Amino acid sequence: MTTEFTVDPTLTARHASLPELVALLEAQHTRKFDVVAAASKLRAEAGQLVVAGAGQKLISADGVSDTDVTLRPTGSADGDLADKLGIPVKYLRRLRAEGKTALFDHNVNTWLRELGDYKLFTRALVNPGENNGVARALLSASYRVIDNLDVLYTVLDGIRAAGVPVEITQCDLSETRMYVAVSCPAIAQHAPRLLAGYTSPFSGARGAENPVVWAGFIVSNSEVGAARTTITPRLTVEVCSNGLTMTADALRATHLGARMDEGVIRWSADTRRAEIDLISRQARDAVTTFLDADYVRAKLAEIERDATVEITAPQATIEHVADQLRFTSGQRDSVFAHFIKGGDTTSGGVLHAVTSAAQLVADADDAYAMEAAGMRAMSLAAAHATGRR
């Protein structure tokens, strides 16, 4: 029997609309359960995480007593357990995958006892009226919470206040991160050098006939410790919706704050407002900086420097790029197929192939990581083709 947990559909969404994302985040918000507890109050039981005394009060003839909360860890939460307890994550996941829950429990409980009074912050979703749910993360007690819903509303308010016409073109949610793609077709530039030889592998539309890119950015946040809040500039290629992300220019906010007291946490409106002030400022900065014609022109000029190198050995070049970027064999093969379909035999064609292939990746985290590697892929391809190192 195996206890490897599948992805919870209430935690994830791929290629969602903005209303769909909002509905999912609001449903999660009503179930959120945050607790800071000493490691000695946590235990593994049948592969699940139990937080002693954190549940609803039980009223009986004998008085009021505390109850425990039992939580099913996500894969990310298992990773946090391994990290906090110094257990190799591959070993812990193997125990779960092979159904060796007694050994899983023994390892986790042994090292939880070693930590004693050290406080850990558990983020979870609990089922309404019940003492069970999903453990999403096990974090430091000084982790500063910036929730996805707050980030989303703050960024949307910032955009609205700036009065810039934008489109929310795609929303994705993984167990660990939220991604929201914002495009501004009103801020567009022609990119004939980048798109002259390219054909969309999806529609067959030719870049030479519509060499247009739009301004925009990606908003990303993790409320479970997987990454900082980021707003990353992104150009969208109109003929294929490929995203060209400029990770070096990203605005970031680290989730680290004052140490929290022990107990179940009920976040006040004032606390949430204080935590998102930085995000509000960054949203205004992103609109001012990234949704700007001069910025788009400058970034296109940077991209085009490496975009026109002829790739005479595509298979060898793409294998080199895939090795350097640690793509899986499936990702490598997909990039090669998209390179052939795209018909652009330049280093810019490698950029297009990586970013179009990324659109078909089922896992949101893998998809956005692959897209973010597009610029690096183009530079690696150009260097490989010219013998530069």
Q: 176 vs 259, which has greater pLDDT? A: 176
Q: How far apart are CA 162 and CA 98, in angstroms?
A: 53
pLDDT digits (tens, 9 = 90+) for 306-330: 899 999 999 999 999 999 999 999 9
- pLDDT value for 225: 87
Enter the tokens of residue 346: 């330049």
Mean pLDDT of all residues in 275-281? 74
Asked whether residue 264 carries a pLDDT value surpassing 60, the answer given is no
- pLDDT value for 256: 42
pLDDT digits (tens, 9 = 90+) for 17-29: 999 999 999 999 9
Asked whether residue 255 carries a pLDDT value surpassing 70, the answer given is no
Write down the domain spans for the chain.
31-140, 148-305, 314-386
Band the pLDDT of 344: cuts 50, 70, 90: very high
Band the pLDDT of 293: cuts 50, 70, 90: very high
Q: Where are the beta strands (DSSP E) in the chain?
A: 13-16, 32-38, 42-45, 48-51, 58-60, 63-65, 69-73, 119-126, 132-140, 167-173, 178-190, 212-221, 229-237, 243-245, 251-253, 263-265
Domain covering 31-140 assigned CATH 2.60.40 in the classification: no
- pLDDT value for 389: 56
Mean pLDDT of all residues in 360-372? 96
Mean pLDDT of all residues in 361-368? 96
Q: 9 vs 139, which has greater pLDDT? A: 139
Which residue in the block uniquely carries the two structure tokens 């894969």?
A: 75
